[in-house]
Amino acid sequence: MTFIYFICFLLITAGTIILLRLNPEKITNDLMRFVSPKQTLRDQVLTARGKKRSRKLTVELNRIRDALEQTGKGSLFTITCAASVVLMIFGCIIAVMIDNAFLIPVFAVAFAMIPFAYAKRTVSFYDNHIKEELETALSIITTSYVRTDDIVTAVRENVQYLKPPVKDIFAGFVAENMMISSDVKQSIRHLKEKVSNSIFDEWCDTLIACQDDRTLKDTLMPTVAKLTDVRIVNNEIKGMLSAARTEYWMMAAMVVGNIPLLYFLNKDWYAALMFTTPGKIVLAVCALAIVVTAVLMFRYTKQVEYKK
């Protein structure tokens, strides 16, 4: 009977999608309007001044979308949002099929997070690649700048030796300064906005100050050295973080694996866990604990980042 309900639900869902003419773009727009409702002009001013914070969920979704667009995978965000909605519905179906209403919100959230976790992993690989290339790019550009005392000349001399995507960023800086505006400070500010990295931000700020005080050139190289320090620290703790993540997934697998194991050890206990209200609540609490601890695990085992 459950299988028949499942088929009926799928048919109703398919019919709803066809009647409402839903597509990934429309789902994404509706989702963004839901998590980020339209702000009044007053709210926008307060947010810009830092007196009012945006929702954390809104900030995180916008950061993922912007990062994917910078990597040339802007369409992936639309697919991610659509897949998240589909998997959220699928999680609810699984909870209904095992006759545990307490698991519906937990499974809905857990399954909806899967596409965004994949998207964040893609963004993380891009950020790591940027950091690796920045270390080389800033080193050779800074050395040339100390010698030539002209940042545009220093970048133009070395842009051919850089690798994408850093090469495109600095090539745009040279093109802007030579063809659009001769304001070096403004060009550096635009360059700063193209990379989300605190050390790069500090390097750009110092570079802007150097346009007024040339004696500050000597402070650029120590700033670049921070990239090397962060890379060395991350390489040293990479094994420890990987071991911590592996240990967590083993513990989570043991918790989930105990459920079918209980069926073979004691069927009465298994029936009490699966078919009684207290047992269903215990399963929901365990599932919620796994979801929450998984989020915390990813937060505390990410790579070290330099903060001012």
Position 205 in a domain: yes
pLDDT value at position 288? Answer: 92
150 and 87 belong to one structural domain:
no
Q: Which domain holds residue 7?
A: 1-97
Domain tally, the chain = 2
Q: Is residue 21 part of a domain?
A: yes
Answer for the pair 214, 284: CB distance below 8 angstroms, yes or no.
no
User: End-to-end CA distance of the chain, in Å?
Assistant: 60
The answer, yes or no, to whether residue 285 has pLDDT greater than 90, is yes
Q: Is the pLDDT of residue 146 over 70?
A: yes
pLDDT tens digit string along 10-30?
666 666 666 656 555 655 655
- pLDDT band at 51; cut points 50, 70, 90: very low
Q: What angle do CA 142, 188, 229 make, to 5 degrees?
A: 45
Q: Quote the pTM value.
A: 0.69
Give the confidence band of 50 by pLDDT, cuts at 50, 70, 90: very low
On whether both 147 and 199 belong to a single domain, the answer is: yes
Inside any domain, residue 269: no
Q: CA 140 to CA 32: how far, in whole Å?
A: 42
pLDDT tens for each residue of 235-252: 888 888 889 899 999 999
Q: Note the pLDDT of residue 118.
A: 83
